[in-house]
Structure 1
Amino acid sequence: MERLAVNRFIGFGLFFGLCAVASVLLFQPLLLAVPFALIGALWIAHKPFVLFYLLVAAIPWSIEYNFTSSLGTDLPTEPLMLLVSFSTLCYLVYSARSRPLEGLFRSPLMVLLVLQAAWWLVTAYFSTDFTRSIKFCIAKTWYLGAFVIAPFALFKNHKAVVRTAQVLSASMLLLVARTMVRHAGYGFTFERINDSLWPNFRNHVN
């Protein structure tokens, strides 16, 4: 085990050296970040729970952000969903021998989700705006990856479910407390409630 650790350290040192030389020769300082990005990816593959808990904690704080009039996203949740989906994929590849997805399709809910996803593709194919429809289908894949595949692969005991509920509850409690403090600053007036809730709770009525 110690010899393996030494070999990994030497390998990382050589790889970092190559990236450093390439960075100097190509005048690209960002190449120095490649070895650390690789370590981060490997760490995520071993510890996908970290990103998943971060995603769960970020859900209450998510805000809508429009890059253009036709392109919008939820920050920071959608980028985190992408990362969770990617980290789960890495975890599945790394842990393929343990079959983390065994029994996934035994659930009737999963069968319904697969049928729904198949229907997305059918409707996208016959859509009058195929490009926009297929973008919608692609955008929904990381929802399935982050909130269906990841929990199934990672939740191997009751403690993981409880921990997830605790993380979500604590995050939501902090946001509610912050909102109450802001609303108190406005004297708890009805007219300023939207100001107190902004930007996390958008008024969908008016």
Structure 2
Amino acid sequence: MRGAALALLHRRPWPLVAWALLVPAGIWLAVAMEQLIWAVIPLLVLVAAYVVVDLLGAFVFLGVLIPLSTELDLPGGFSTDFPVEFYTIGLMFAYFLWLLGNLKKRFPVRMVLHPIGLLLLAHWGWTFLTSFSALHPLISIKFFLAKSWYIVVYFFMAGSLLQQEDGIRRFFRAALWVLFATIFIIMLRHAAAGFTFDSANKVMAPFYRNHVDYAAIMTVLFPVVWYWPHGFSAKKSGSRWHLLLVLWLLLAIQLTYTRTAYISLLMAAGLYVVLRLRLLKPALVLAFGLAVGGLLYLASQNRYLDYAPNYQTTIAHHRFDNLIEATYKLEDISTMERFYRWIAGVQMGRERPLLGYGPGNFYEGYRPYTVTSFKTYVSDNPERSGIHNYFLMLLAEQGFPGLFLFVALLFYAFFTAERLYHRLPKGPKRYRLLSLTLGLGVITSFLLMNDMIETDKVGTFFFIYLALLVNGEWGV
């Protein structure tokens, strides 16, 4: 298609002439009207033309944008991931037009009819349904729309386009090149600050909101880097450069001082053993049983109150070793603030068990359900942050059905991965499957301490990994 487009431009160059005239016109209007948007219009036209000519290339460009994207505050208390969210919306409409070009042949039937696709659609549909009973429906509708273009682009579009090894390699190579570039810049800044724990958050701008986002994208992509020579590279062999990149990435993760990232890597290693030994079902049953048993134990006779923090000694720490010590003493402010919100989330789920308080409405409704004895110095929450546990967020905002649908989606994805792992012969497809599955394991670990599916650094890869898992099930 790209070659045909170039041949057409050679015969009829008027689109290039028109674009060449549009560039100075846009710059002149931007200066005259003092609005930068006019200068951006020629770039948007160029991007739109590229999308038409090479849809896969346009999707691969997402890999470039995701590590570079930053949070941008909008009027009305809303925010967006700029520029990746706007680009995602544009790709969604381009994908719709591409489908309409040959709907019978291009419609992603296999993605829709696969149990992972059906569970994802059910999860998506429940998000839509609970938006109408929400505490603030406008917030929920915005949440639903954002989730919609994530699912359409990163699951359905990814499943339609990333069906060949070359396309998969191009996407992840683009993402990793830019990721390592941001790592290099951030480590230089961090080195100038002495690699201190206290400066870890300050050196992230403008690429990452905080050290957790930075650690998350590195950890989510670590299995891809680990298996790159055998699962993604055309050379199919390792090298000293690969080993250096792995060690560099591990060092960068270490220097984020993010406990969840460390635990996630350990859990990914455990997941690998579980997959190899076909122990996934008993492992998930055990994990589910321990979670339910722990909740019942803490709820019985209000035992959870025995773990309430001391308000005076539960503070923020400026040294990582002090933070680790405070964590197991239950005197770390971030951990105890999580408990404060988790308790509220459970109480919200008990109050509205069927429909919850509506997607995106945790902040609007959690105050009356907090327990004062767990209050910390940061409980005023001026930054309007969430519950920091995706599963409890679903319980509070979408009730028990919303939680069940998402857990079922995760369970089935891991069951599919285990089945495929033992069905595939040793080779690139099996190594790619391992990298995707371990990446999903890392994301699941992060969801226990954060609510990150609707963020560009994690949610994008969550849906892409699911899409590639479905493609693997169909032998693609």
Deviations 1:128-160 (A, max 9, x none): 322222222112111112201211111221221
User: How many residue pairs were aligned?
Assistant: 190
* 1:179 aligns to 2:148 (yes or no): no
Output the CA distance in 1 between the equivalents of 2:68 and 2:50. 26
Tell which deviates more after alignment, 188-197 or 133-142. Answer: 188-197
Q: Deviations over 1:44-99 (max 9, x none)?
A: 23311222122122112221111236111111211111122122122222243532
State the AA in 1 paired with 2:135. Answer: T
* Shift in alpha-carbon separation, 1:104–1:193, aligned structure 2, 3 A: closer
Counterparts of 1:87 and 1:48 in 2: how far apart (Å)?
A: 8
Identity of aligned residues (%): 22
In the TM superposition, what are the counterparts of 1:42-191 in structure 2 within 5 Å? 43-68=50-75, 70-96=77-103, 98-191=105-198
Kindly provide the CA deviation profile for residues 183-204 of structure 1, in whole angstroms up to 9, marking residues without a partner as x: 1122223332222223314156
On the 8 A contact 1:51/1:80 being kept in 2, the answer is no
Structure 2 gap ranges (5+): 23-37, 213-333, 335-377, 379-476
Q: 1:9 aligns with which of 2, 7, 12?
A: 12
The answer for unaligned runs of 5 or more in structure 1 is: 21-29
What is the distance in 2 between the residues matched to 1:191 and 1:5? 57
How big is the alpha-carbon RMSD for the aligned residues of Structure 1 and Structure 2? 3.5
Structure showing greater Rg: 2
Tell me which stretches of 4 or more aligned residues in structure 1 moved more than 6 Å: 10-13
Structure 2 CA distance for aligned equivalents of residues 171 and 119 of structure 1: 35
1:176–1:11 distance in 2 versus 1, CA, 3 Å: closer
Per the alignment, in what secondary structure is the counterpart of residue 202 of structure 2? helix
Q: Distance in 2 between matches of 1:56 and 1:145?
A: 16
Letter in 2 for 1:9: R
1:26-37 equivalences under 5 Å are: 37=45
Task: State the TM-score, normalizing by the size of structure 2.
Answer: 0.35
Amino acid across the alignment from 2:126: W
SS at match of 1:194: coil
Q: How high is the TM-score relative to the length of structure 1?
A: 0.75
Deviates more, 1:39-48 or 1:175-184: 39-48
Assess, with a 3 A threshold, how the Cα gap between structure 1 residues 168 and 41 changes in structure 2: closer, same or farther: closer
Q: Quick check: 1:104–1:152 contact (8 Å CA) kept in 2?
A: yes
Counterparts of 1:65 and 1:192 in 2: how far apart (Å)?
22
Q: Distance in 2 between matches of 1:43 and 1:194?
A: 36
- In structure 2, the residue matched to 1:24 is none
